[in-house]
Amino acid sequence: MYLMDYHHHTNHSFDSTASMVEVCKKAIENGIQEICFTEHFSVNPLAPTYGHMVFDNYLREIHDCQEQFQGQLIVKAGIELCEPHLLKDQYDEILQPLNLDFILGSVHNLNNQKLRLALNEDQPTAYERYFNELYHMVSDSDIDIIAHFDLMKRYAYKEHGLYVFQEHQEMIEQVLKKAIDRNIGMEINTSGLRTGLKQTLPSIEIIQLYKELGGEILTIGSDSHTVEDVGANFNDALSLAKDCGFNYIYTFEKRKPIPVRIQ
Ligand SMILES: [Zn+2]
Ligand SMILES: [Zn+2]
């Protein structure tokens, strides 16, 4: 099977110190054939990631890696946006000329507050607010893939436990339908498998529902912030995709989804 990682961070993100060249070397060592870097980026001065990204440097380093590892590893230029439905025009203005391969959309903040802090409210309310914000993102932003669909659980599970899928099913369904409608796909984010959470983001119920509703576009990402974890748990995600009835995983080129058959 063609191995790929479509969610990875390096020191171009505010919360990683990993070197891109080292990540590429490790990827090759681990038998990964394609990597798409997806650094954090926000145009909102209140977002923790604001001001870190220098696109000239980022794109130059990607270009250098493409040359250095030609024939061994395909390197794509992606980005992970915070709340891309807010300040949409500012995002468009900066991103359109860059001609990136791939855009992940994320809800990391609610009302300019990190999810971790938004949790201090009642549990159903916090999750409801999160999924509601996700709906707005999917309805009104220029993205390719929804990152870590049920991210709220990453911050909630320890103290408050996991959410009950059925309690949010209606809202989740609205998000998925809107995504399918607008040709926006979903990732299986494996980061949760490497923490006490012990599950992917999203959970299997959401992946199943996405399939049931006719969703096709699926990527796999480690959401790694280190050299060591590049491509981590790819096979777990692949099995999950297969179990849910998917026959393809996607790569992207200049924002165009390209199916890769699951073997
Ligand atoms: Zn991060
Ligand atoms: Zn994220």
Opening angle at CA 80, ends 101 and 261, nearest 5: 50
- Taking the C-alpha atoms of residue 209 and residue 166, their distance in angstroms, rounded to an integer, is 12
C-alpha 199 to ligand 2 mean position (Å): 16
| Ligand 2 center to 250 CA (angstroms) | 19
- Per-residue tens of pLDDT for the chain, all 263 residues: 999 999 999 999 999 999 999 999 999 999 999 999 999 999 999 999 999 999 999 999 999 999 999 999 999 999 999 999 999 999 999 999 999 999 999 999 998 888 888 887 666 688 999 999 999 999 999 999 999 999 999 998 888 889 999 999 999 999 999 999 999 999 999 999 999 999 999 999 999 999 999 999 999 999 999 999 999 999 999 999 999 999 999 999 999 999 999 98
Centroid of ligand 1 to alpha carbon of 38 (angstroms) = 10
pTM of the model: 0.97
Rg (CA), the chain: 17
Say how far apart CA 246 and CA 262 lie, in whole Å. 8
pLDDT of residue 97: 97
Q: Phi then psi for 7, rounded to 5 degrees?
A: -160, 100
Q: Could you list the residue range(s) of the whole structural domain that residue 120 is in?
A: 4-261
Distance 82 CA to ligand 2 centre (A): 8
Cα 122 to averaged position of ligand 2 atoms, centre (Å): 23
Axis crossing angle, helix 20-29 with helix 55-68, rounded to the nearest 10: 30
Tally of CB atoms within 10 A around 94: 14
pLDDT of residue 60: 98
Q: How far is the CA of 66 from the centre of ligand 2 (A)?
A: 24
- Indicate the residue type of 125: T
The CA distance from 160 to 101, in Å, is 37
Residue 122's pLDDT is: 64
For tokens 């090759």, what's the residue?
Answer: 28
The ligand whose atoms approach the alpha carbon of 13 most closely is: 1
Please report the pLDDT score of residue 158 as a whole number: 86
Total of domains in the chain: 1
**Domain CATH for 242:** 3.20.20.140
Distance 108 CA to ligand 2 centre (A): 7
Ligand 2 center–CA 263 separation, angstroms: 28
Helices and strands in the chain, H and E counts: 9, 11
Gap from CA of 56 to ligand 2 centroid (Å): 22
* Alpha carbon of 263 to ligand 1 centroid (Å): 31
